[in-house]
Amino acid sequence: MQGSPPPPDKLVTLANWQEPPFNRWGFLHIRDLIPTAQISRGAGPVAELEHDPREIDAVAFRLRGRDWTVASMLDATYTDGLLVLHRGRIVDERYVDGMGPDTTHLLMSVSKSVTATVAGTFVDRGLLDPGAPVTEYVEELKGGAFEGCSVQLLLDMRAGTKFSEDYDDLQADVRVYEQVCGWRPRVDPDLPEDLYGYMAGLNENVRPHGGRFDYRSILTDVLGWVIERVGGASFASLCSSEVWSKLGAERDAEVTVDAHGCAMEDGGICTTLRDLARFGLMHLDEGLAPGGRVVSAAWVRGVTRSDPDLLAAFAAAPDGKDLPGGMYHNQWWVIDPDRGIHGGLGINGQQVLIHPPSRTVVAKFSTQPGPWDHALSEVQLRGSLAICDALERGDV
């Protein structure tokens, strides 16, 4: 239940909430650990989701010489919740260990896809030029690592900025800046007071801007700063007005903020499972939602449009071997450009998978023990694709 205390033998703190077994409670109770800003659902009616139950547990797939079912995949990947929408109807919805339809859960890097959608709304209106330099919108970044970097390179994770994303190294940039964001106890007194100062202080590049794909969460936070400057309001307010208030969401979302109110757009958004599925459904419907158009069909279609430059940039990166033939564009992982299959993915097993061929959305929350377990990530994605394939064939 949301707001419930952790078990007395599992005291959750700011220092351990991302580690097992504490993460299972922590991911559901972010506001009890870290300050958050409300992303309002607005005053519109809830878009009710009809049910069309299907039996998916026995859907089978084979991976690396082992036979799997959806049931065994869900058990192996530390599932907190799963919701499958097929043609806009719920065919499967389940929750584990205290989570329920009204419980918000941390999205981790699925937040990046939400953030990019907010950016897309401003691109549609001509207020944000993806080809323009980042420094045109945020003057504080002039002379630093983002000099000469376009907004599009942030969206595609192709900036040259030096930033280590090694989650297992507490001295890596991705862990150190969590002290600034309020995700971890502050032990380094020399760090900037807020995330704005941290971003402005980055002044090293490891390669020219526009090179190969290189996944770094800080690029999404810089994008969030650009969005705030374009929209003239906080990210939480803009995410509400541009996206969340139009989805017919059941609950407000929220995003973690630092001591000065700067949002952690790269991973700090929390939503219910149903509302994440509604976000995915909006993308499946090419930007249309019950409350009106969120983002243009051209923006949504552009996410998965095959691009030789993006394909080559992705293939040249270490991550390229995980999704052969895939690419990364506008803060989405494009799994199959030809079929338009793409997803928002986050560490510890967060996912919203968009599968246009079968008209399916698979939303999943998890608390996997490690941030990025290649084997678990692979089985989760393959199992989710197997669900979509079965629905496309009419086997379930």
- What would the 3-class secondary structure string for 58-108 be? CCEEEECCEEEEHHHHHHHCCEEEEEEEECCEEEEEEECCCCCCCCCEECC
Say if CB 259 and CB 150 are below 8 A apart: no
pLDDT of residue 1: 41
Task: Name residues whose C-beta falls within 8 Å of residue 332's C-beta, 6 or more positions apart in sequence.
Answer: 113, 116, 303, 304, 342, 343, 344
Q: How far apart are CA 300 and CA 308, in angstroms?
A: 18
Taken as a whole, the chain contains a residue count of 396
Q: Please report, in tens digits, the pLDDT of each residue of the chain (396 residues total).
A: 455 666 655 799 999 999 999 999 999 999 999 999 999 999 999 999 999 999 999 999 999 999 999 999 999 999 999 999 999 999 999 999 889 999 999 999 999 999 999 999 999 999 999 999 999 999 999 999 999 999 999 999 999 999 999 998 989 999 999 999 999 999 999 999 999 999 999 999 999 999 999 999 999 999 999 999 999 999 999 999 999 999 999 999 999 999 999 999 999 999 999 999 999 999 999 999 999 999 999 999 999 999 999 999 999 999 899 899 999 999 999 999 999 999 999 999 999 999 999 999 999 999 999 999 999 999 999 999 999 999 999 999
Q: How far apart are CA 254 and CA 271, in angstroms?
A: 7
Q: What angle do CA 165, 280, 262 make, to 5 degrees?
A: 45
Token pair for residue 244? 């969340």
Asked if the peptide bond before residue 21 counts as cis, ω within 30 degrees of 0, the response is yes
Say if CB 238 and CB 162 are below 8 A apart: no
pLDDT of residue 98: 81
Amino acid making up residue 34:
I
B/e letters for 222-237, b = 16+ CB within 10 Å, e = fewer, are: bbbbbbbebbeebbbb
Question: 47 by DSSP, 3-state: which?
Answer: coil
pLDDT of residue 202: 98
Helices (H), 95-194: 110-124, 151-155, 173-181
Kindly state the helix (H) or strand (E) to which residue 270 belongs, with its residue range: strand 269-271
Say if CB 93 and CB 256 are below 8 A apart: no
Token pair for residue 380? 């989760």
Kindly state the helix (H) or strand (E) to which residue 346 belongs, with its residue range: strand 341-346
Helices (H), the chain: 23-26, 70-76, 110-124, 151-155, 173-181, 195-200, 218-231, 235-242, 273-284, 297-304, 308-315, 374-393
Q: Are strands 292-293 and 327-329 parallel, antiparallel or unpaired?
A: unpaired
Using alpha carbons, select from 381, 125, 330, 310 the residue that is nearest to residue 223. 330
pLDDT of residue 4: 64
- For 28, 70, 105, 110, 127, the CA distances from 271, given in Å and listed in that order, are 10, 24, 6, 11, 27
| Catalytic residue (one of 72, 109, 296, 306) | 109
Q: Is 245 a catalytic residue?
A: no
pLDDT of residue 10: 72
